Amino acid sequence: MTFQQKNNTVSLVSFVAITAFFLVRVGQLIADDNFSHQSVVRLWIVVALLAVIATIVAMIFTHSVATAIESVQSGDPDFEIDKTVDERDRRIDLEGTSVTYTVSSLGAFVAMVTYALGNSPLVMFTLLIFFGMMAQIAGDLKRLWSYREV
Amino acid sequence: MKKSMDDYQIINNIRKLRFFHEEMTQKELAQRVGVTRQTIISLEKGKYSPSLELAFKIALVFDMPIGKVFSFDLKETGS
B54, part of any domain:
yes
ipTM of this predicted structure: 0.85
Mutate which of B27, B33, B38 to test chain A, going by most A C-beta atoms within 10 A? Answer: B38
Kindly report the nearest CA distance between residue A66 and chain B, in angstroms: 18
How many distinct structural domains can be found in chain B? 1
- B40, B26 in Cβ contact below 8 A? yes
Whether residue B53 lies inside any domain: the answer is yes
CA distance, residue B16 to nearest chain A CA (Å): 21
Count: domains in chain A = 1
**Residue ranges making up the domain that contains B17:** 13-74
Of all residues in chain B, the one with the smallest CA distance to A147 is: B38
List CB contacts (< 8 A) between B46 and chain A.
none
* pLDDT tens profile A23-81: 999 999 999 988 888 898 899 999 999 989 988 888 888 888 777 777 787 777 677 77
Residue in B38, B47, B48 closest to A2 by CB: B38
Give domain status of residue B3, yes or no: no
> Which candidate in A5, A87, A143 is best for mutational testing of the B interface (most B CBs within 10 A)?
A87
Residue span of the structural domain in which A110 resides = 3-149
SS3 B18: helix
Distance from CA of A105 to the nearest CA of B (A): 30
A76 strand-pairing partners = none
Look up the CATH number of the domain holding residue B36.
Answer: 1.10.260.40
> Which range, of A48-62, A74-88, A113-127, A128-142, averages the lowest pLDDT?
A74-88
How does pLDDT run along chain B (79 residues), one tens digit per residue?
Answer: 777 888 888 999 999 999 999 999 999 999 999 999 999 999 999 999 999 999 999 999 999 999 999 999 887 765 4
| CA distance linking residue B10 with residue B58, whole number of Å | 14
Taking any CB pair shorter than 8 Å as contact, residues of chain A touching chain B are 2, 82, 84, 86-89, 147, 149-150
